[in-house]
Amino acid sequence: MFDDVSISVLLGNFSSHSFSPTTGVLQGSILSPHLYSIYINSLPPILCTVASPLTLTHIPSTSPSSLDAYNSLLAPSDANDFRHIHLPTAINSLLFADDVAIFGSVTDVQSMLDLAAQHSFQLGYCWSPSKCAVLYPPSRSLPCFTISLYGELLPAVNEFIYLGIPFHNKGIFGPPVVTHRRSGALAAMATLTAVGACRSGFSLLLSSRLFKTFIRPKFEYGLAITCLLQKDVLLLEKIQDKCLRMIVGGHATSSTAVLKHICNLPSMAFRVDILKTKFCLRAHTLPSGCLLSLLHSHHLQASTLSTLHTNLLFASIPPDLNCSSRIKLSKHFESFRQEKFAHFHLTNTKILIQACRPLLEVDPVLFLPATRIERGRLVRWRMGWLPGKPKECACGFDHTSRRHLQFCITIPSQLFSQLLVPPTDEDNIIDFAISVLPISSTHPSPLYWKALLTILWHIDMLCNPNGNYTHETDHDSLWH
């Protein structure tokens, strides 16, 4: 892999003659990124040679103590308390591996591109002009100048994706951050659904955790450093809702409020606040010599950290909280979210949310021992899909509503007598029975467990009479 490397090019079923590279290592080699870092490390000082003080940002040198030996020579003759010399460092380029951003006047940028081309010739690598673009300031939305690399003109654009983040002429562009990630996240969710994260595949608990682990980070990328509008947050919520509907098979406008609650999935607005809060906390603990710290300290008006601080979650962190502890920080986030939900639970009038447990945790109906069909009925009742849209009940006295079914004469009354009595007459007896289930499968099944499953079986037969229910004979075979 390192010595006597021979390479052939395969194109259109034809293979070229073998040849040996004159520089570098194979892309799969573990030395490849290290060698590139060594190669590219000499580029920024070269680009700084064309720095213009009128168009560039400067920061103090990160190592002023290295000038101590020259202080006596550089100090003015009338200086009394002269210590360190802070020479400014020009910031006219930013590098992340082979992704490079350069900025300055048109003349300076063209000069830097010429230097970058010479640098590539000397070290034996090549830039890709087709992957480059120019963002002009607003006054030059229709540029009268051209910029080129290797003699190839670079296109002028209004927006460019750099490191997966959309930029325009004023910096990070908030709205496209959301829309840019949407299609990829939904495509990945469709793939996950096809392999089993759906109603007929994995359990709802497993599917929700797969979404949380693999899909949600796809459209959360970049949110920690982006200033979003309310409509952007709503679009994020719609993306999450669509992914969850793909899991349970809901229609395009079905509510996901109960689904997110029983799976303990926070809203995207809260997720955005968490990501921004973590980023701000991390930024404040960076060494003072880091680029972000220097830019924020010496160019406060242009820094977005102050804007990112303006969220209630960040403001709620007590001064004595050990933010370096992930456990303590997570507990604070959860307690803050629980407090907000408790207020929402007291003030909202949504029947299905009111019927759920008031605590933010995974609902036991997702993991207590039950067959797939039994668990499906429990989840459907929670979400309001059972009984579903009310229709004429077989008893002939009312419609198949949640209120009527707890008194319907077609369901044996002795089953309801086995359920626990709710604290008030307004509480639905079935909702209350589900809400007081044990929170661990290690507990023995409650005495009313079989009666509860049997009641839901009767309700399913009333609301969906065309189903096949003959194979269900024992309703508590898995939990004793």
Query: Residues 214-244: pLDDT tens digits?
Result: 999 999 999 999 999 999 999 999 999 999 9
Q: Is 29 within the bounds of a domain?
A: no
Quick one: which H or E segment has residue 238? helix 230-248
Cα separation, 92 vs 116, in Å, equals 13
Do 130 and 232 fall within a single domain? no
Nearest to 440 by CA among 376, 369, 387: 369
Q: Is 132 within the bounds of a domain?
A: yes
Query: Residues 385-411: pLDDT tens digits?
Result: 999 999 999 999 999 999 999 999 999
Do 329 and 189 fall within a single domain? yes
Which pLDDT score, from 0 to 100, does residue 79 have? 44
Query: Residues 95-146: pLDDT tens digits?
Result: 887 889 998 889 999 999 999 999 999 988 889 999 999 998 876 555 567 8
Cα separation, 477 vs 451, in Å, equals 13
Q: Is 373 within the bounds of a domain?
A: yes
Which pLDDT score, from 0 to 100, does residue 73 have? 39
Do 350 and 376 fall within a single domain? no
Confidence of residue 208 (pLDDT cuts 50, 70, 90): very high
φ/ψ of residue 311, rounded to 5:
-140, 150
Do 200 and 312 fall within a single domain? yes
Q: Is 26 within the bounds of a domain?
A: no
Domain boundary among 315, 337, 362: 362
| Conformational region of residue 312, where left means phi above 0, alpha means psi within -120 to 50, and beta covers everything else | alpha
Q: Which residue has the higher pLDDT, 72 or 214?
A: 214
Do 349 and 388 fall within a single domain? no
State mean pLDDT over 448-463.
95
Q: Percent of the chain scored above 70 by pLDDT?
A: 89
**Highest-pLDDT range among 177-181, 215-219, 302-306:** 215-219
Confidence of residue 211 (pLDDT cuts 50, 70, 90): very high
Calculate the CA 205 to chain-centre distance: 19
pTM above 0.95, yes or no: no
Cα separation, 281 vs 285, in Å, equals 7
Confidence of residue 65 (pLDDT cuts 50, 70, 90): very low
What's the domain range around 110?
A: 41-70+84-157
Examine the pLDDT at 440 and tell me if it is beyond 80: yes
Which pLDDT score, from 0 to 100, does residue 338 have? 98
- Bond into 387 cis (ω within 30): yes
Encoded amino acid at 177, one letter = V
Domain boundary among 334, 362, 390: 362
Q: Is 100 within the bounds of a domain?
A: yes
Do 165 and 288 fall within a single domain? yes
Examine the pLDDT at 71 and tell me if it is beyond 50: no
Q: Which residue has the higher pLDDT, 256 or 95?
A: 256
Q: Is 114 within the bounds of a domain?
A: yes
Which pLDDT score, from 0 to 100, does residue 474 have? 82
Do 351 and 377 fall within a single domain? no
Do 269 and 387 fall within a single domain? no
Which pLDDT score, from 0 to 100, does residue 19 have? 84
State mean pLDDT over 355-362.
96
Examine the pLDDT at 267 and tell me if it is beyond 90: yes
For residue 174, how many other CB atoms are within 10 A of its CB? 16
Encoded amino acid at 299, one letter = H
Confidence of residue 11 (pLDDT cuts 50, 70, 90): confident
3-state helix, strand, coil in the chain (%, to 5): 45, 10, 45
Instruction: Please check whether residue 149 is in contact with residue 116, taking contact to mean a CB–CB distance below 8 angstroms.
Output: yes
Nearest to 421 by CA among 438, 405, 436: 436
Q: Is 7 within the bounds of a domain?
A: no
| Conformational region of residue 113, where left means phi above 0, alpha means psi within -120 to 50, and beta covers everything else | alpha
Q: Which residue has the higher pLDDT, 332 or 95?
A: 332
DSSP 334-371: HHHHHHHHHHHHHH---HHHHHS-SSSS--GGGTSS--
Long-range pairs of 213-219 with CB within 8 A, sequence gap ≥ 24: 214/188, 215/185, 215/188, 215/189, 215/243, 216/185, 216/240, 216/243, 216/271, 218/181, 218/184, 218/185, 218/188, 219/178, 219/181, 219/182, 219/184, 219/185
Q: Is 475 within the bounds of a domain?
A: no
State mean pLDDT over 334-354.
94
State mean pLDDT over 359-388.
96
Do 143 and 216 fall within a single domain? no
Which pLDDT score, from 0 to 100, does residue 323 have? 93
CA distances for 354 relative to 258, 342, 358, 383, 449, angstroms:
10, 11, 8, 12, 22
Do 458 and 401 fall within a single domain? yes
Cα separation, 345 vs 340, in Å, equals 9
Examine the pLDDT at 341 and tell me if it is beyond 90: yes
Examine the pLDDT at 308 and tell me if it is beyond 50: yes
Q: Nearest 10 degrees: CA dihedral of 251, 256, 262, 268? A: 140
Cα separation, 446 vs 433, in Å, equals 10
Examine the pLDDT at 64 and tell me if it is beyond 70: no
Do 357 and 394 fall within a single domain? no
Examine the pLDDT at 34 and tell me if it is beyond 80: no
DSSP class of 167:
E
Cα separation, 404 vs 396, in Å, equals 11
Which pLDDT score, from 0 to 100, does residue 76 have? 43
State mean pLDDT over 260-282.
97
State mean pLDDT over 47-65.
67
Cα separation, 416 vs 429, in Å, equals 8
Per the structure, how many domains does the chain have? 3
Do 299 and 406 fall within a single domain? no
Q: Which residue has the higher pLDDT, 289 or 182?
A: 182
Cα separation, 427 vs 425, in Å, equals 5
Domain boundary among 362, 390, 419: 362
Q: How far apart are the first and last CA of the chain?
A: 61
With vertex at residue 360, the alpha carbon angle to CA 359 and CA 366, rounded to the nearest 5 degrees, is 100
State mean pLDDT over 8-37.
78
Instruction: Please check whether residue 178 is in contact with residue 172, taking contact to mean a CB–CB distance below 8 angstroms.
Output: no
Q: Structure tokens of 421?
A: 């009595």
